[in-house]
Every structure is written in C-alpha cells, then in structure tokens.
Amino acid sequence: MTRFHHVFSVLCRLCALLPGAVLLFLVGFLLQQSRGRLDLQLLFGDTPPLDALIHFAPVWDGIWPACFGTFCVVALAGIVAVPLGILCGIHLSEFARGRFRTMLSFCVDLLAGMPSILMGLFGFALILFLRHTLLPDAGTCLLLSGFCMGLLVLPYMVNATYSSLSGLPHDIRLLGPSLGLNRMQTIRHILLPSAGRGILSGLVLSLGRAAEDTAVIMLTGAVANAGMPRSLLDKYEALPFYIYTTAAEYQTPEELKAGFGAALVLLILTTGLFLAAHLLHNAMERRWRQG
Amino acid sequence: MTPPVSINNLTVSFDGTPVLENVTFKTRPGELTVIVGRSGSGKSTLLRAVNRLNECFPGCSTTGEVQLALHDGQLDVYSATTCPEHLRARAGMVFQSPNILPVSIARNMLLPQKLVRNVTGRSAEEKMRHMLERVGLLEEVHDRLGAPAATLSGGQQQRLCLARALALEPEILLLDEPTASVDYRSARRIEELLLSLKNELPMLVVSHSLPQTQRLADRVLLIRKGRLVGEWHRGQANAEADFEKMLSTTF
Ligand SMILES: Nc1ncnc2c1ncn2[C@@H]1O[C@H](COP(=O)(O)OP(=O)(O)O)[C@@H](O)[C@H]1O
Ligand SMILES: [Mg+2]
C-alpha cells in the first residue's frame, strides 16, 4: 500500500510538471526557430515603429497590423461574450429551474461543442443574408469576426459562471437572504465575488480561444496584407491567420522564421491578456474584501 | 401581552415530504425559548420558517401561520403582502457553523449595514465597534479589523456573526445551535450575551446541549420527527423533575 502511494505521488508530481515542461519546450522551440528574426523589423518592417504606433503609418512586411487585428478581434469577442456570458450564467444558476434549466444548459453545451468552422460559416451566411435584405453593401469585416468569435467563446463564459456560482456552498447562498439582502444584492455583493476565481478562469480560456482561432476569422474578414483596419467595417489581418498562411505558402526560410516569430508574438499577446485579466480580477477582489 | 412569536399549525414540506407537521406554540416577552430535538428532527427548518428562509430551497412548501410582534405592530409572516427581504432584515439569524463572508472583519460588519440599513461612514463604524465590544471581540481584534475574517478562530467567527446580526438592529433573533462548533470560552460568552439580551430582544435558540438548555431556557420546545412533542416552562410545577424527564431521551 505504501509502495502504491509512493508510485502514485511520484506520478502526480510528474504530471504536474508536464504543462511547464511542454510550455518550456514550445517557447524554446519557437525562440530557436525564429532566431535572428526577433526584432522590431518583424513587427514593423521598414516603417519607423513610432510612426506606425502613433500615426498609424502603413506597415509593409511586418506583423504589427496582424497583432492589432487579433487584439481587436479578442477585444470585440470579450465585449460580446463577457457580459452576455455572465448574465446567462447567472440566469442558469440563480433563476432558471427544472426542465427549462436543463434545456438551456443543453443548448449551451451544444454551442460549446460546435466546431469553429461552423461559427465562421454562420458569420458568412449572416453577411449573405444581410446583403440580400437590409444592407446590400455589407461585407465580411472586423466587427463580424469579433461578433462571431464572441459567440464562439460565449459558452465558455456561461459555463464558467454557471458552474462556479452553482458550486458555491449552501451556507454562503443563505447568508445574503438571512441578512435581509434582496436577490440582486446577494448576487452582486456575495455570490458573484465569491465565484470570481471560477469566472476568471472562464475568461482566460475565452481570451485564449479568441486569440487563437483561425477558422472563424478566415471566413469572416481576415485577409493577408490588408494592413491596418481603418474601421470596424474594414478587412484586417490577424496573427493566427498570418501564421497559417505563412506555414502553408512560405517561399524563403526567412519567411518561415517570421512565421515562428509571429507564433511567439501571439503567445506573448495572450500571456499579456491573461495577465491583464488577473490584475483586473485581483483589483476587483481587493475592493470587495477591503471595501 | 402579545406573544413575540406565535406559530399556528405550521407545516413545512420539502418535495412533498413533510419535515414539520402542525407545529403550534407561542413565546412570551422576556423569556428565552430553546428548541431541542435530535438531529434531523426539523429544528433548523422551524427557525427558517420564521424568517421564510426555507423559501430559498427549491421544492419547499409552507402552510400555517407565523405571527411576529414587532415594534410597529403584528407582522403576519406568510401574508401575501409581507416582503421576505423586509422580514429577514428585521429577524436576525445566526447559523450553526460560522457563516462569515470571505472578506475582512470590518467589512463583514459594514457591508450588511450599508446594504440593508443604508448606514455608512462614522455611524456604521461606531455601531461596529459597539457590537464587537458587546460580543467580547473588540479587544481581541481591534488592531486587525482589516484582516480576513477567516483568520479568526471558530468561536471568534461565530461571535462576529452574532455582532453582525445585532448591528442590523433586529427585532427578533434566531440562533441555530450557535455554540455547536465553538470553543468553551466563546460558548460561555455567547450564552451570557443571550441572557443579557433576552429582555430587549425576543429569541428562538436551537440548542444541542443539555447543560446549555438548562442554563438558558425559560421555555423549552421539544421536537421529534417534525412534531412538537413536549413543552416545558421554568415556572411550571415540578419544573426540575419534568425537565429531566422530558429531555432524558433527547441528548
Ligand atoms: N433544503 C432541504 N431540502 C430537502 N430536505 C431538507 C432540506 N432541509 C432539511 N431537510 C430535511 O428536513 C429534515 C429536518 O432537517 P433540519 O431542520 O435541518 O433538522 P435539524 O436542524 O433538527 O437537525 C431532515 O430530514 C432533512 O433531510
Ligand atoms: Mg440543524
């Protein structure tokens, strides 16, 4: 028995090290493959960086427009998915009952299991529909991608909110009402803050997915060499799309290097987003705990 | 004198199974009423029926009548015009296991005051200190009010919960085995406080211990399997012998 425990604990420890090892290997691999190409030129090409950042000077041969496009898609997806997802999760956990709840959560699960290419097709079909009806000029664009990406990650936000709220212990649920708080006050001041960590992990999952997915943006407005989008209704570039096309069509080793560099930049971008989400959560939690 | 709490034919069921059946009793002003009974007999459910907290569980249905004598007159708890939040704000409750918010000690006291009574700033702080003093917690925590309440011992947490309930100026207090999970010193401190409060604040206390019941109770209600099967009063003839007889099979 002790022997079994020993083997088991060693196994657990090895598995715990696995994610770190994979990450290290991946970063190391990307660094090695993109060596010599990791500089400001990768981002901005021959355009002076400050001009690109401040004056939106056009950037050729750089992945800055793709970074910006991906950032916009993730931000738009967040704007769609975070409030809707949290509200829907609150409804599922706190208000919906019985058969209705089962049905709703089944729909959310179906949506969560939907391949992203279908979501891309949905966006594409939506544009076709709009063209034939209300908006003859409608075309695929940043806004459409952000919207579809928001729908893609919506179930993650819903499920994270739903499961962390409904997993709260009974005592803490009764506390608000027993003090005389009404339902909204209980949710707003007791339940949501208590479920914050679980909701945050749903947010991190969503941001990562929105930054990485290629199928949705391919069908809804991302193109190679679009440059910086001038508005939400413009075409745009995106990092995963850039990586995808580079990997498929590179002509020189230098181009492939740039593709690996872009992958690293994507990793840095998502890490930055996670960090921002954590900081936001910590600040909110501190405010809640200290008043 | 109107009874502070009067319960008539109360029946509570969860998913169709009755947990309390036809419970009827009245308490008297200035008396401390203690509810006893085996675990699972329905004591907590009875307390929760008084502030309608059972309604927070799906599948619960309640029939019968509960009347509370409040400062501005009689309140029919289950009348259609009674707002549950309003009722619960006036009926303080302390749970069996300390039910703190995972926030600082001070915020545990201040947040409910702000949300329920709309009291903030200096007056809320004063109230907080006064109530912490009253439960004997102030000297233990005055220098770390900003620390997480979870760093307090179980007994301190329970006294914090009591202080939090008192800070909302309840007109009746419901205590569900308030000393079941606390150390001896805190338990005695809580008992003393309850005794000192009983003339100003009607209370229903569920107790898990015979000596405690002996120390606290002016009136004892014995619940068995959801029914009120015994009632004892300090002033009755043969009080001591009857007390022994009634409770010999319970604890
Ligand atoms: N929320 C609930 N849902 C279903 N059954 C419940 C619920 N709360 C209590 N009960 C049942 O009611 C009975 C009495 O419970 P309770 O009032 O907690 O007893 P006590 O406090 O005397 O130990 C138990 O059999 C318990 O299973
Ligand atoms: Mg109980």
| B93 vs A178, A182, A290: nearest CB | A178
Under 8 Å between Cβ of B91 and B68: yes
Test A171 with B146 for CB contact under 8 angstroms. no
| Minimum CA distance residue for ligand 1 atom 26 | B40
Percent of chain B with pLDDT over 70: 100
The total of structural domains in chain B comes to 1
Taking the domain A65-290, which CATH number applies?
Answer: 1.10.3720.10
Query: pLDDT by residue for chain B (251 residues), tens digit each?
Result: 789 999 999 999 999 999 999 999 999 999 999 999 999 999 999 999 999 999 999 889 999 999 999 998 899 999 999 999 999 999 999 999 999 998 999 999 999 999 999 999 999 999 999 999 999 999 999 999 999 999 999 999 999 999 999 999 999 999 999 999 899 988 999 999 999 999 999 999 999 888 999 999 999 999 999 999 989 988 887 888 888 888 787 77
Determine how β-strand B17-26 pairs with β-strand B5-14: antiparallel
Judge: B146–A290 Cβ closer than 8 Å, yes or no. yes
Neighbouring CB atoms inside 10 A of A19's CB total 9
Tokens of B78: 């289950």
Query: Mutate which of A101, A178, A187 to test chain B, going by most B C-beta atoms within 10 A?
Result: A178
Cα–Cα nearest to A91, from A160, A162, A172: A162
Residue B113 near chain A (CB below 8 Å)? no
pLDDT at A1: 66
Residue-level pLDDT at A51: 83
The count of other CB atoms within 10 Å of the CB of residue A12 is: 10
- If one counts every other C-beta atom within 10 angstroms of the C-beta of residue A3, the result is 7
Mutation test residue for ligand 1: of B15, B19, B48, B93, the one with most atoms within 8 Å of CB: B19
pLDDT (tens digit per residue) in A128-139: 999 898 888 888
Residues with CB under 5 A from ligand 2 (ion): B 44
- Return the pLDDT at A60: 79
pLDDT tier, A223 (very low <50, low <70, confident <90, very high otherwise): confident
What average pLDDT score do residues A200-215 get? 93
Q: Is the pLDDT of residue A290 over 80?
A: no
CB of B24 closer than 8 Å to CB of B87: no
Query: Does the C-beta of B13 come closer than 6 Å to ligand 1?
Result: no
- Give Cβ neighbours of residue B225 (< 8 Å, ≥ 6 apart): B41, B42
- Residues A23 and A28: their CA atoms lie apart, in Å, by 8
State the CATH number of the domain containing residue B99. Answer: 3.40.50.300
Beta bridge partners of A244: none
Pocket flag, ligand 1, residue B48 (CB < 6 Å)? no
Segments making up each domain of chain A, as ranges: 65-290
- CB-ligand 1 contact for B40 (6 Å cutoff): yes
- Ligand 1 close to Cβ of residue B57 (< 6 A): yes
- A171 and B95: CB-CB below 8 Å? yes
- Note the ipTM here: 0.90
- Cα-Cα-Cα-Cα dihedral sign, residues A192, A195, A201, A205: negative
pLDDT value of residue A161: 97
Q: What angle do CA A274, A185, B171 make, to 5 degrees?
A: 145
> Average model confidence (pLDDT) for chain A?
91
> The domain containing residue B91 runs over which residues?
5-247
Is B226 touching ligand 1 by the criterion CB < 6 Å? no
Are B85 and A180 in contact (CB < 8 Å)? yes
- Å from B47 to nearest chain A CA? 11
